[in-house]
Amino acid sequence: MAEKEVINYKDIINKIRPELDKVIAFLERELLKIRTSRATPSLVEDILVECFGQRFLLKQLAAISVPEPRQILIQPWDKSYIEGIVKALEKTGIGANPIVDKEVIRINLPPLSEEYRKNLLRLISEKQEEVRKTIRRWREEAWKEIQEKYREGEIREDDKFKAKDELQDLIDEYNAKIEEIGERKKKEILE
């Protein structure tokens, strides 16, 4: 009877690393959309705008800039886009009304109220927890595969326990990133 090939458990752990990186990138993109006391193009650039019976991202229809700390300036490539852009902006929950000024649209962000800040902090915590759940699912999947390979004799028992520790270290590293990203955003909101 041929001896089973021994698999390196590190391959299983390394296989989930790119997925964990995607989860972190997702969290960063989501938090960019959350308004802080400063204006940023990311607050509006991915808003869907209805134009000529089609839907476009705002950044496909206009130049977006921040001339002042609490102002966003939107310069549509064509003035026929203005009406659709204004309608789309009014539907968002950024807490400011768009003002049409000739061929540009200005959004003056009001200071954040205490209640709005609390809601934003809660939203950040919810996003962090959502991402932590995804990371736990990846950990469970990798651990299940390691245990399966152990049962099949492809991973030695001592390697199984090393794998469990290394897998947890990796998950702890990504949980720390989630915490750090969330704390940075919370700090921006509280400024």
User: Using one digit for the tens of pLDDT, what is the confidence trace for 71-110?
Assistant: 888 898 988 888 888 888 887 766 677 878 888 888 887 7
CATH number, position 150: 1.10.132.20
Residues 121 and 182 in one domain: yes
Looking at residue 81, what DSSP letter applies?
Answer: G
Strand, helix or coil for residue 154:
coil
- Residue 3: inside a domain, yes or no? no
Residues 20-70 pLDDT 10s: 999 999 998 888 777 666 677 777 778 888 888 888 888 888 888 888 877
pLDDT(112) > 60? yes
CATH code at position 88: 3.30.1360.40
Number of domains in the chain: 2
To the question of pTM greater than 0.85 for the whole model, the response is no
Domain hosting residue 81, numbered range:
41-108
Mean per-residue pLDDT for 187-191? 78
